[in-house]
């Protein structure tokens, strides 16, 4: 029998580095990166029905209604690639209702990774963040400047990355986080995200390698 694929949830405040770590994790482990923020932004720029409904919430830094996001995530998780390669869920669940929806479907990760970063750092990271619309890569004007002029010229800023909106996103995050933690307290792994991204990744990497090894051993013995 072959080992069950990895199933990972990553959480943390706005700009705690979820997307940055997910890039590295999915590249190394081959799991499918499912970011509700990325999917919603793609729906908005494509002008779909979901996008049009989500737009005003996102631009003002509020959460998009649960039913929209939950339908999106459950559809994505049920696709063949996520079942075969495993998944990395980024930005979901974000409310107790969302966590309950997954529990009802018996969707449970192997680990719940939580990135911890102080508030003042988060604000600086958001305000300095830039996105490459072509590759989806995440940059920062000071921390991770673009590799060349060509990339630099096409970088865009997210409409919800102003200082004022970041503060309200952070507040919404803090109001919701407690109610989700109890669902995953037994598989929670907290990481200090206020270190260079490679250092943060080293810690996640060894955690996931350990989990992968456990799964392989389980599949041999079972
Ligand atoms: P979403 O896209 O999920 O935004 P978020 O949670 O606010 O997280 P961010 O994307 O801002 O940050 P990140 O942690 O990925 O950090 P990053 O790696 O980019 O959601 C956006 C909106 O969509 C929500 O507000 C809501 O409206 C809606 N939405 C999404 N999911 C939803 C849900 N489940 N329910 C309802 N609504 C939902 O890094 C940030 C910056 O820091 C970058 O510039 C990066 O280069 C830099 N950086 C990263 N790591 C480091 C490091 N170690 N050191 C220094 N700099 C670093």
Centre of ligand 1 to C-alpha 2, Å, is 34
Model pLDDT, residue 159 = 93
Model pLDDT, residue 1 = 55
The CA-atom distances, in angstroms, between 153 and each of 25, 45, 139, 144 are 28, 19, 13, 15
- Judged by DSSP in three states, 69 sits in helix
Instruction: Answer whether residue 174 shows pLDDT above 60.
Output: yes
Q: How many CB atoms lie within 10 A of CB 122?
A: 23
Strand boundaries in 5-128, DSSP class E: 7-12, 32-35, 87-90, 111-116
Q: Is 109 in the pocket of ligand 1 (CB under 6 A)?
A: no
Q: Phi/psi of residue 155, each to 5°? A: -65, 145
Q: Is 92 in the pocket of ligand 1 (CB under 6 A)?
A: yes
Centre of ligand 1 to C-alpha 207, Å, is 22
Q: What are the catalytic residues? A: 18, 94, 129, 158, 169
User: Is the model's pTM score more than 0.90?
Assistant: yes
Q: What is the pLDDT of residues 36-64, one digit of tens each?
A: 999 999 999 999 999 999 999 999 999 99
The rounded distance, in Å, linking the Cα atoms of 21 and 197 is 7
Instruction: Answer whether residue 222 shows pLDDT above 80.
Output: no
Average pLDDT, the chain: 95
Q: Is 58 in the pocket of ligand 1 (CB under 6 A)?
A: yes
Query: Residue 7: pLDDT band by 50, 70, 90 thresholds?
Result: very high
Centre of ligand 1 to C-alpha 141, Å, is 16
Instruction: Answer whether residue 197 shows pLDDT above 90.
Output: yes
Query: Residue 2: pLDDT band by 50, 70, 90 thresholds?
Result: confident
Q: Is 158 in the pocket of ligand 1 (CB under 6 A)?
A: no
The rounded distance, in Å, linking the Cα atoms of 203 and 191 is 8
């Amino acid at each position: 029998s072959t080992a069950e694929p990895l199933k990972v949830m990553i959480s943390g405040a706005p700009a705690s580095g979820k997307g940055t770590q997910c890039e590295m994790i999915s590249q190394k482990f081959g799991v499918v990166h499912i970011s509700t923020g990325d999917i919603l932004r793609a729906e908005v720029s494509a002008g779909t029905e979901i996008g049009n409904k989500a737009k005003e919430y996102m631009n003002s830094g509020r959460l998009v209604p649960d039913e929209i996001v939950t339908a999106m995530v459950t559809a994505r998780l049920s696709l063949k690639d996520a079942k075969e390669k495993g998944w990395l869920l980024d930005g979901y669940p974000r409310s107790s209702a969302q966590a309950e929806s997954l529990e009802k479907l018996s969707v449970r990760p192997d680990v719940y990774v939580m990135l911890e970063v102080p508030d003042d750092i988060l604000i600086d990271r958001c305000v300095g963040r830039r996105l490459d619309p072509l590759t989806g890569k995440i940059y920062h004007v000071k921390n991770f400047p673009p590799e060349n002029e060509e990339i630099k010229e096409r970088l865009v800023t997210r409409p919800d990355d102003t200082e004022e909106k970041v503060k309200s996103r952070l507040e919404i995050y803090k109001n919701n986080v407690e109610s989700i933690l109890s669902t995953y307290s037994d598989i929670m792994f907290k990481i200090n995200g206020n270190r260079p991204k490679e250092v943060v990744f080293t810690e996640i990497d060894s955690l996931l390698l350990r989990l992968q090894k456990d799964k392989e051993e389980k599949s041999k013995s079972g």
